[in-house]
Amino acid sequence: MCISRHGEYIGGDRLMKKSSVPFIRFCLLVGIFALSTPVFSQIITMPLPVPWPVFRNGQADLRIAAAYHSLEQEMPQPPQYDTRLRGGGLELSGRYAFNDLVGIDFGCMAAGQKGEQGPDNEFTKAVVSIPADLEFQVFSNEVFNLILFGGFNATPYYSRMDRLGYTYESYIILYGPQAGAQASLRLGDVMLAPYFTFHRLSGKRRYENETSSGNDSGSERVLARSFYYFGLNVIYVPAGVTFGASYQHVPEEDKRLEYHGIILSLGYTLRFDPGEDVNRTQ
């Protein structure tokens, strides 16, 4: 098994780190790297671009939320280089409805995570996720609503890894299409809104490494990766308050290398409708 020269896996590409250290030490480091888990894929993108599960002609919505993130990855065999990241961020999403059928939305999420991989490796991560979509309200009545959406996501991302005296820094920009669906069911003052979101992102990376054998820097292409989100929002309509929970999954050819994330959020939505107050009615 080969490894990247920055200490991280990127999709299916494997590049071995060049080193001037003695052969025995080199082989030992290669063994450690090969048994470690990938950290490049362990990022959070913005899972929910729909700020409110219902819209109508001329309406504008603005949602502000705080979120907690948890990402975990476990290796099924020793040595155990389990990865655990914790963090949080802020989310902002808005939408304008051209009519009762079509709307456009935008969003921005800024988040940071910190964690470890095994006993010796520390990670610091920061990410900004910026989605934009066209929304299509394909069904709507007083009880049930269904929105389909699709668009684009751009995600600048920074990662720092400290491993056995080595430091690896990556500056990454990911971009690509996204799509999804959100339904909603009105139960009195409460609305249940399950959703699904898919991202397919690729991009470029610039890296800077500091090791005992010297410094290394460069840039390379990042192969496309798929991100899947499954979530549920519980909305208290009179107050415009939303509690959300979502599950993030990033598949890998090697099932051992898959990781899973949980996002918990608490948000508030402002709704603006020309000539009529709908802030707490729909």
Angle at 266 between CA 265 and CA 267, to 5 degrees: 115
Q: What pLDDT band is residue 230 in, cutting at 50, 70 and 90?
A: very high
Residues contacting 187, CB < 8 A, separation 6+: none
Could you give the CA distance from residue 102 to residue 2 in angstroms, rounded to a whole number?
A: 48
Asked if residues 115 and 84 have their Cβ atoms less than 8 Å apart, the reply is yes
**pLDDT higher than threshold 90 for residue 276:** no
Q: What pLDDT band is residue 252 in, cutting at 50, 70 and 90?
A: low
Q: What is the DSSP letter of 209?
A: E
Phi, psi of 22 (to 5 degrees): -55, 155
pLDDT at residue 17, as a whole number: 42
Q: What pLDDT band is residue 167 in, cutting at 50, 70 and 90?
A: confident
* Percentage with pLDDT > 70 across the chain: 73
Could you give the CA distance from residue 238 to residue 246 in angstroms, rounded to a whole number?
A: 23
Taking residues 83-105, what's their average pLDDT? 92
pTM (2 d.p.): 0.77
- The whole-chain average pLDDT of the chain stands at 79
Q: What pLDDT band is residue 6 in, cutting at 50, 70 and 90?
A: very low
**pLDDT higher than threshold 50 for residue 11:** no
The 10s digit of each residue's pLDDT in 169-227 is 889 999 999 999 999 999 999 999 999 999 899 999 998 887 767 777 888 898 888 88
- Residue 3 corresponds to which tokens in the numbers above? 């490894």
The 10s digit of each residue's pLDDT in 12-43 is 443 344 444 443 443 333 333 333 334 344 56
Residues contacting 255, CB < 8 A, separation 6+: none
Taking residues 116-136, what's their average pLDDT? 86
- Kindly write down the DSSP assignment for every residue of 220-273, as one continuous string: EEEEEEEEEEEEEEEEEGGGTEEEEEEEEEE--SSGGG-EEEEEEEEEEEEEE-
- More confident call, 15 vs 149: 149
